[in-house]
A and B are shown apart, each in its own frame.
Chain A
Amino acid sequence: MATVHIPPALRKYTQGKEEVSVDGGNVRDLLGNLESNYPGIGERIVDDSGAVRRFVNVFVADEDIRFMDNLDTSVKDGDEVSIVPAIAGGR
């Protein structure tokens, strides 16, 4: 299983959990299983076409999946997956 770090804005779908363990041989499967385990979270990460939304970046082991194999990027047991949305506060 991989450990997925959940940003605060999406924790309402994970009952407040900061990180969750999810199966998946690649990012696509992992996000699918994440949605199965925590309904509603998937559409906040990927759009209707299945692509990762703008303003959201997904990193596997701190590497940007856009420059690996995108949603086909392989995920190994023990990998850390970070979902990093844009934030803009600061006043």
Chain B
Amino acid sequence: MTVSAQLQRTHFVVVGAGGLGCPALLGLSAAGARRFTIVDPDVVETSNLQRQVLYSVAQVGRAKADAAAWALRQRIPAIEVDAIVRALRPADASAFVAALPPESIVLECTDAPALKFALNDAGLEHGTPVVIGAALGLRGQCIAVRRGVACYRCIYESAPQDLPTCESAGVLGVAVGLAGFVMASAAVSLCDPQQAAETTGALLAFELGAGSMQTLRPRPRERCPACAAAQPSRFPPLQASA
């Protein structure tokens, strides 16, 4: 199967339709992805508009998941997109991922550390690749997680309690936008078995102030509980390289 065909078959599940999720959805659809589920409990607010680029003033007050789905259909009428207007709780992440079709990739686009760890663990547990991103200030990070390489929990161990947030530390719209597009690029590369081997397990870290983009190579942590519970990939392009 060609990468283009795989992109069209793949079900991209974008959890969080905010500063990361909007550009991730745009990037995926621009690359040829056509099947989406968008999960977000919030409504569009005026203060979101400068960085949550799928929305306009007309969507203020509307559920983000619905508004993002509508915006994608406006761009590409043939697109298949489901909107889920609710919060995905960390405790529900495993059941949520288990119920996804095998040809799914999850993009964790929220600002909730606990959910990043929960989706990392659930993706490994059920053989579903997960792309995890974050942005703060001028910085962004992205990692694509699958069995056999360092996962998010290998790198950071457990959810911290006191990380600065965009509310407390601010974020440049360009930085969160770039992080979302980097996430889309990572998710697209998972559809290509050759690129996937390069992408997965690498921590991409950029900082706009210094103009730097690093590809860091963390290693799997010994006794990582998420890696210990990892199952073979259900996602076809990764099965050969798992």
Residues of A within 8 A of B (CB): 5, 7-9, 18-19, 54-55, 57, 59, 62-64, 66-67, 82, 84, 86-91
Asked whether any CB of chain A lies closer than 8 Å to the CB of B210, the reply is: yes
Shortest C-beta distance, A45 to chain B (Å), equals: 14
- With contacts A8-B138, A86-B113, A87-B164 known, what are 16 further pairs, Cβ within 8 A? A8-B139, A9-B164, A62-B217, A63-B217, A64-B216, A66-B218, A66-B221, A82-B216, A84-B141, A88-B165, A89-B136, A90-B134, A90-B171, A91-B16, A91-B19, A91-B20
Over the window 88-112 of chain B, the binary record of Cβ atoms lying under 8 Å from chain A Cβ atoms (1 yes, 0 no) is 0000000000000000000001111
A32 CA / B242 CA spacing, docked (Å): 41
CA distance A91 to B15 in the complex (A): 11
* B contact residues around A8 at 8 Å (CB): 136-139, 207, 209
Given A19-B210, A90-B134, A90-B176, A84 and B203 touching (CB < 8 A)?
yes
Q: Which of B132-171 contact A (CB under 8 A)?
A: 133-141, 150, 155-158, 160, 163-167, 169, 171
Secondary structure at chain B's binding surface: helix, strand, loop or mixed?
mixed
Chain B interface size, as a band, is: 35 or more
Q: In the assembled complex, how far is the CB of residue A56 from the closest CB belonging to chain B, in whole angstroms? A: 9
B205 touches A84 (CB 8 A): yes
A-B pairs under 8 A by CB, number: 108
**Bound-state Cα–Cα, A7 to B48, Å:** 26
Contacts of A64 in B (CB 8 A): 150, 216-219
With a cutoff of 8 Å between Cβ atoms, the chain B residues found around residue A87 in the complex are: 134-136, 139-141, 163-164
Instruction: Choose from A7, A57, A91 the contact partner of B218 (Cβ within 8 Å).
Output: A57
Are B209 and A55 interface neighbours, CB within 8 A? no
Report which residue of A55, A57, A59, A91 has the largest number of chain B beta carbons within 10 angstroms of its beta carbon. A91
| Closest CB in chain A relative to B241 CB, distance in Å | 21
Task: Note all chain A residues with C-beta closer than 8 A to B156.
Answer: 54-55, 57, 86
Q: B140: which A residues are within 8 A, CB to CB? A: 87
Whether B216 contacts A55 by the Cβ 8 Å rule is no
Residue in B169, B209, B216, B221 whose CB lies within 8 Å of A89: B169
